[in-house]
């Protein structure tokens, strides 16, 4: 691996997001070859330099990201206090040993596309509304909504945590099926938006994130993003 900035080295080692790594470096907890360093932009040569955090050696890993087709009933978290299965359990069962972060929210009752990454910066930017990464969902509800209600939905609805941003919605074949495209991702947002219109979501499946789609990936399966896909994903949120 070529020379990298210290904050990026720490992020790749799974310490934290790059912004949090900046704070850690400035606090004097990091050393290179025994010398305390407080500049997050300091260059590191991973093949030669010995980097420690609180005296413990660190090793950077290559940036890697997987696309998961999450089944319903699996928690999008590192662990479940109630002992249920998590997306990281699925990754371990697939033989993936890297320390990963679930990228964004996909609640336990929902299914579909979820990214798992060892890059904290990428995870942060993909979920931050400032970068406007679009997420596409196929949603079924208990009763259809009218064209007028669809326009209200798309314009933004008042929720308890503030009004939603404008989004897109279009009907799909079937009695009460819709495609919804959001550029933000609040907790259970789509479910709450339909609840605000007196409807109940019976099925919610994320099918696309930016340019990535599920393709033929079956539920519970993962595939690693190619180098080209990963670079395109990074460029979409201003990362190199």
Instruction: Give the residue numbers marked as catalytic.
Output: 107
Q: How far apart are CA 225 and CA 115, in angstroms?
A: 9
State CA 57 to chain mean position distance.
28
- What six digits make up the tokens of 111? 């299914």
Dihedrals phi, psi of 36, to nearest 5 degrees = -65, 135
Cα 60 to chain centroid distance, Å, stands at: 21
Measure the CA dihedral 68/74/80/82, to 10°. Answer: -170
């Amino acid at each position: 691996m070529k020379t990298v900035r210290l904050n990026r080295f720490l992020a790749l080692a799974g310490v934290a997001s790059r912004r949090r790594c900046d704070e850690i470096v400035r606090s004097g907890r990091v050393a290179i070859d025994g010398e305390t360093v407080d500049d997050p932009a300091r260059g590191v040569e991973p093949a030669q330099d010995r980097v420690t955090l609180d005296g413990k050696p660190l090793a950077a890993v290559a940036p890697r990201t997987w696309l998961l087709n999450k089944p319903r009933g699996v928690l999008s978290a590192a662990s479940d206090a109630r002992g249920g299965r998590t997306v990281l359990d699925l990754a371990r069962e697939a033989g993936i040993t890297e320390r990963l972060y679930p990228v964004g929210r996909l609640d336990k009752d929902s299914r579909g596309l979820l990214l798992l990454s060892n890059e904290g910066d990428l995870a942060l930017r993909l979920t931050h509304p400032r970068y406007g990464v679009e997420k596409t969902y196929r949603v079924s509800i208990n009763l259809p909504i009218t064209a007028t209600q669809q326009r209200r939905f798309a314009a933004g609805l008042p929720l308890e945590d503030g009004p939603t941003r404008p989004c897109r919605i279009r009907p799909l074949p079937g009695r009460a099926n819709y495609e919804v495209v959001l550029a933000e991702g609040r907790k259970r947002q789509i479910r709450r938006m339909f609840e605000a219109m007196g409807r109940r979501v019976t099925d919610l499946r994320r099918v696309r994130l930016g340019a990535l789609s599920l393709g033929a990936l079956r539920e519970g399966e993962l595939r690693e993003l190619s180098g080209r896909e990963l670079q395109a994903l990074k460029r979409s949120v201003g990362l190199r």
